[in-house]
Chain A
Amino acid sequence: MLTVESADKIYPNGTRALAGLNLQVEEGEIVAVVGGSGCGKSTFLRLAAGLDQPTHGRIRVDNEMIVKPHPCVGLIFQEPRLLPWLTVAQNVGFGLAELPREKRERRVEDVLRRVGLADYGGRWPRELSGGQAQRVAIARALAPHPKVLLLDEPFSALDAFTRASLHEHLLDLWNAFKPTLVLVTHDVEEAAVLADRVLVMQPNPGRIAAEIEVDLSRPRDRYGSEIEAMKRRILWALDKSLRRDSGEALAPAAAI
């Protein structure tokens, strides 16, 4: 589905954000990418979205090279990035301009209902709470029915309860459309609750340090012992990747 072949990304200032990244994501799979800051996880997402090009290597979706934004690939940013001059419904329909009006309106109605904002179509973005705005952003990305949906720390600015409810919304949507999800996050609980597979990345240069299968059935109990154990495993792998990077044990304070 989504294939990354030895992708390098070297920024003009010489930073090696990614080095020889290899990755294969299956259709309908949910992959979480975790890692410390500067490990290249956001860079990887920008490459997969076609917003940037790799310096070397290739990224493909269904055998099509990604060199610029592709209709099959949607991206949800860290912030909602709604257009303030469009209503909620117009924002959701933003990527559907080529559809006939009636079809577009039906599609918008459908996704808004799925994110629980059926009555909000006529509102302005400024009238939404942070969680609602991010749900609209999710609806906007899903409206064109992308095969791959990339999420760049989409819930990091929200409080824990809103985040948990958005996880449920996201899983509902995933159940409905079965898109391939690649989720960059720094929240190990988010990774454990949502993902089929967790990739731990490490910096200097950015690469994959560990790969953890999360073979837990859904729905998952985020307060259950299995998720707790999974969180510990991911944290341990993260911690190890950071130690290996600095070549010495971290000071206890830095591990907190």
Chain B
Amino acid sequence: MTAIERFDVPGEARDSRAVSATLPNSRKQNRTALRFLLGIALPVVLGIGWELAVRAGLAEGRLMPPPSRIFQTLYDLAVTGELWVHMGATLGRVGAGFLLGVIGGTLVGALAGASRLSREILDPSLQGLRSVPSIAWVPLFILWLGIFEESKIALIAVGCFFPIYLGVLGAIQSVDRKTVEVGRIFRLSTPQLVRRILLPAILPAYVVSLRQGLGLGWMFVVAAEFMGASEGLGYLLVDGQQLGKPDQIIAAIFTFAVLGKITDGLLASASAPFLTWQDAFAAKH
């Protein structure tokens, strides 16, 4: 009996899209709600368990504070307005660095993808630079750009640049010659070919690379803020370590997780209307 039930589950999951298309709205909503509940069940159970363990005196909770203390810290930071200052600073750095990385990665990737000569000139050097751990740029950027915002943004931009460059280049190279031939048969000019065939063809891979770039942007903003910042979520981390406030560290980590998830979700849902044509499997992910 249990064996049968278990085998039923993956089949149902696979067909869920086809099923949900015909389901009435309320059942669809129920399913979404269930998925959400399942998704947050693990952290909630662990959090409540730890909270109870600390309250019952089974664990000390000094180095790993219980959720109530962490949320209290978050609340205090929010009430004093500190949290918003730090969040704003970090978001601004990620936003500026990401924007620069997107512009650079897209332009250079398109150039390298469009012409063989430029690819043969650019790509080897860029691949070489890519294998440099980006933290290694920090001293140089500080010397060049100073200790303040510019060097931090530059570091984030470098982090975002490479996945986007690679994504655009790879996407352009993998555009099917056969699809391009359809454009030729209908006598598209080069700008028309770019707009009507190349851009839509590379869009899915481009969105993936943007999301990868944004993810790296969030990684690098921490490194950037470790190198001496007076505000930002990374500063909260360093400050929490130096003053022995693990609740502040975890509160900052939690904020990172939430912001990262939200920005990624925004990027994904902003691009979703352009990608409805993709196969069901890809659309589900």
Binding site for B on A (CB under 8 A): 49, 51, 68-69, 71, 74-75, 77, 79, 81, 83-87, 94-95, 97, 124-126
Closest A residue to B192 by beta carbon equals A97
Q: Could you list 26 examples of A-B contacts with CB < 8 Å?
A: A49-B185, A51-B181, A51-B184, A69-B186, A77-B178, A77-B181, A77-B182, A79-B178, A81-B178, A81-B179, A81-B181, A83-B182, A84-B277, A85-B200, A85-B201, A85-B203, A85-B277, A86-B277, A87-B277, A94-B196, A95-B185, A97-B192, A124-B276, A126-B277, A126-B279, A126-B280
Indicate whether B197 reaches chain A with its CB closer than 8 angstroms: yes
Residues of A within 8 A of B280 (CB): 126
Residues of A within 8 A of B184 (CB): 51, 69
> Which of these, A51, A69, A83, contacts B200 with CB under 8 Å?
A83
Indicate whether B187 reaches chain A with its CB closer than 8 angstroms: yes
Residues of B within 8 A of A125 (CB): 277
**A81 and B279 contact, Cβ closer than 8 Å, known pairs A69-B187, A71-B187:** no
Interface string of B201-230 (1 = CB under 8 A from A): 101000000000000000000000000000
Q: Which of B242-285 contact A (CB under 8 A)?
A: 276-280
Interchain CA distance A95-B186 in the complex, whole Å: 6
A182–chain B nearest beta-carbon distance, Å: 15
Interchain CA distance A203-B217 in the complex, whole Å: 58
Residues of B within 8 A of A49 (CB): 185
A75 touches B277 (CB 8 A): no
Closest A residue to B176 by beta carbon equals A81
B34–chain A nearest beta-carbon distance, Å: 28
* A-B Cβ contacts below 8 A, count: 44
A21–chain B nearest beta-carbon distance, Å: 21
Residues of A within 8 A of B178 (CB): 77, 79, 81
Residues of B within 8 A of A81 (CB): 178-179, 181-182
Interchain CA distance A182-B266 in the complex, whole Å: 51
Residues of B within 8 A of A79 (CB): 178
**A94 and B181 contact, Cβ closer than 8 Å, known pairs A83-B197, A86-B277:** no
Interface secondary structure of A, over-half rule: loop
Closest A residue to B201 by beta carbon equals A85
Known: A74-B185, A85-B201, A124-B277. 10 other contacts (CB 8 A): A51-B184, A69-B186, A81-B178, A83-B179, A84-B277, A84-B278, A85-B203, A94-B182, A95-B186, A125-B277
**A94 and B277 contact, Cβ closer than 8 Å, known pairs A51-B181, A81-B179, A83-B179:** no
Closest B residue to A76 by beta carbon equals B185
Closest B residue to A46 by beta carbon equals B181
Interchain CA distance A124-B179 in the complex, whole Å: 16
Residues of A within 8 A of B277 (CB): 84-87, 124-126
Residues of A within 8 A of B196 (CB): 94
Interchain CA distance A8-B184 in the complex, whole Å: 22
A94 touches B200 (CB 8 A): no
Q: Which of B154-213 contact A (CB under 8 A)?
A: 178-179, 181-182, 184-187, 192, 196-197, 200-201, 203
The 9 closest A-B pairs by CB, nearest first: A85-B200, A95-B186, A85-B277, A69-B187, A81-B182, A75-B185, A124-B277, A69-B185, A126-B279
Interchain CA distance A49-B200 in the complex, whole Å: 25
Residues of B within 8 A of A69 (CB): 184-187
Residues of B within 8 A of A94 (CB): 182, 186, 196
B155–chain A nearest beta-carbon distance, Å: 36
Closest B residue to A144 by beta carbon equals B186
Residues of A within 8 A of B186 (CB): 69, 94-95
Interchain CA distance A51-B185 in the complex, whole Å: 7
Interchain CA distance A84-B279 in the complex, whole Å: 9
Interchain CA distance A54-B71 in the complex, whole Å: 75
Residues of B within 8 A of A84 (CB): 277-278
Closest B residue to A77 by beta carbon equals B178
Residues of B within 8 A of A124 (CB): 276-277
B25–chain A nearest beta-carbon distance, Å: 21
A160–chain B nearest beta-carbon distance, Å: 25
Determine which residue in A51, A68, A69 has the highest number of CB atoms from chain B within 10 A of its CB, and name it: A69
Closest A residue to B187 by beta carbon equals A69
A69–chain B nearest beta-carbon distance, Å: 5
Determine which residue in B185, B192, B201, B280 has the highest number of CB atoms from chain A within 10 A of its CB, and name it: B185
Closest B residue to A73 by beta carbon equals B185
Residues of B within 8 A of A87 (CB): 277
Closest A residue to B200 by beta carbon equals A85
B204–chain A nearest beta-carbon distance, Å: 9
Closest A residue to B178 by beta carbon equals A81
B275–chain A nearest beta-carbon distance, Å: 8
Residues of A within 8 A of B179 (CB): 81, 83
A42–chain B nearest beta-carbon distance, Å: 13
Residues of A within 8 A of B182 (CB): 77, 81, 83, 94
Interchain CA distance A206-B279 in the complex, whole Å: 41
A9–chain B nearest beta-carbon distance, Å: 17
